[in-house]
A and B are shown apart, each in its own frame.
Chain A
């Protein structure tokens, strides 16, 4: 097993008075793909968003426990959320390009980090788009609006935008759920490529997708972590009956 990148200890999260995550403890290894599965409302997206503190945006959220990224507790008062999010990037369910050109979209991250040199920006943009396998499709229209791209292209551009900030960890919240099978295949291929250099955590509703792309799988149900282990094992011989029932489609 590779080195642990993210470690959570007794992570509990409340929305107001409602408990959404109950004492989750799990280790996410470096340079592997970890998938979270489970029925809607089971807390897997919420859990994903605690890993780069996106839940801070919701005023009623209260969190106890620890999340350690590279052994640092990210809920420590000393931690700067802005820098944390540069290290832990995120791709969302619905592709969300800014209403700017493709170039400006990808250059946004480096720009706010103070990189203004044109040549340098161009290089970053090109590299990021290449890493996201979309360079060939957009290289002739970098300065057109990103809104003109297809859904799948938009999503890959959003991944390129995340890569441009050079994170170490990429969180993906159902990145392919709104895409057609061909675009989905491209995203999955991309994830496979990316895990060489990044630690990837992906939430998905699509069981086959989890089986295809991930090395480890965690099954959530009603805010609890039911089972966590190698994807192969979870999908063939799960320990818990609950997991088996969900995977075989008998409930959920």
Chain B
């Protein structure tokens, strides 16, 4: 061994100190850099695509005259009129050929009406009716927003206390072996397919809650919200648990040495010290609920009502995209509005995550530099 080491010993000469080109090192570095930037680029491109598809609505407003030119090349089928008939065609079951003919004949007139309604569309964005497929389409986003907020609120009312208390138990009270079991078990739930949760909510929870509360609509915001809470709990739990265990052990010791009980320590020392982390956890949970589509589609009833009654059906922003995107006419106003919803969701979750990130960092920095009481 010693002999061998002697043979391979690095000789320190001017020659051996010359800069060397290490091919494998160089390549792996470049590849990793490339992959990193590729993933960023893909996200930026998606972002860009979503926004580009949103633009036509705003474009139409400013230059209504040019709309046709913009829209026309994108239409499939023979001409613009055919496209129009298609878009409203869904509601015309049972219409006689004569009626259809009449509409066909009317189209020159209707065309201008539709133009008018495109501007009206923009105005109707702030309306309370979401009727994208009708003779006079209305794209009121308010019921969708109300629905989404309602669901988020209900989900958070359930998920946040449960997840935070569970995390507190796991971090401060559970014996070591239980904690080692509990944490991975709950974290595994984060990977639970949301369609399964939705299915469970649809088949089991809806009936269960209906038996308890006795409301009319079997699928409603409440059922959807509780189902969403199931999806959000693992996220909130994990991050809160990490935040709690990251609190230095010395705090706990200091509190216990002052004669505090374990509950007092957990409640007055550990929990407050972990507030930034818990806040971030809740924001991420909200982000999850906000963007959740499958559970919303399956368990909320999907009626765009803007009431505040938690036992009425709602339709969320994400579910609207999920349900309607497949059937919308490419390049239509409806299509653009769906993309508008998409960009709103994107912006919202993006700013939530950014808020979580910066709030936590700012708060922690302040705390440990002592600028805040």
What residues on B are CB-neighbors of A89 within 8 Å? 257-258
**Selected contact of B253 from candidates A54, A86, A145, A161, CB within 8 Å:** A54
Specify the chain B residue showing the minimal Cβ separation from A52. Answer: B257
Cβ of A226 to closest chain B Cβ, rounded Å: 28
What residues on B are CB-neighbors of A94 within 8 Å? 250
Cβ of B253 to closest chain A Cβ, rounded Å: 6
Of the candidates A96, A144, A149, the one having the most CB atoms from chain B within 10 angstroms of its own CB is A96
Chain B, interface size: which category?
A: 20 to 34
Cβ of B266 to closest chain A Cβ, rounded Å: 12
- Cβ of A145 and Cβ of B373 under 8 Å apart? yes
- Cβ of B248 and Cβ of A144 under 8 Å apart? no
Question: Beta-carbon contacts of B352-373 to A below 8 Å, as 1s and 0s?
Answer: 0000000000000001111111
**Selected contact of A158 from candidates B254, B256, B260, B273, CB within 8 Å:** B254
- Cβ of A99 and Cβ of B273 under 8 Å apart? yes
Tell me the interface secondary structure of chain B in the complex: helix
What residues on B are CB-neighbors of A113 within 8 Å? 259
Check: B261 CB closer than 8 A to any chain A CB. yes
What residues on B are CB-neighbors of A112 within 8 Å? 258-261, 264, 268
- Cβ of B256 and Cβ of A54 under 8 Å apart? yes
Q: Which residues between 46 and 101 of chain A lie within 8 Å of chain B, taking CB atoms?
A: 52, 54, 57, 59, 82-83, 85-86, 89-90, 92, 94, 96-101
- Cβ of B373 and Cβ of A144 under 8 Å apart? yes
Cβ of A113 to closest chain B Cβ, rounded Å: 7
- Cβ of A85 and Cβ of B371 under 8 Å apart? no
A85-B257, A98-B273, A108-B269 given; name 10 further pairs at CB < 8 Å.
A59-B175, A89-B257, A92-B253, A98-B255, A109-B259, A145-B372, A147-B368, A147-B370, A161-B258, A162-B257
Chain A positions within 8 Å of B, measured between CB atoms, are 52, 54, 57, 59, 82-83, 85-86, 89-90, 92, 94, 96-101, 108-109, 112-113, 143-149, 158, 161-162, 165
24 cross-chain CB contacts under 8 A: A54-B253, A57-B252, A83-B259, A85-B257, A89-B258, A90-B257, A92-B254, A96-B250, A97-B254, A98-B273, A108-B255, A108-B260, A109-B259, A112-B260, A112-B261, A112-B268, A143-B373, A144-B373, A145-B370, A145-B371, A147-B370, A148-B371, A149-B370, A165-B259
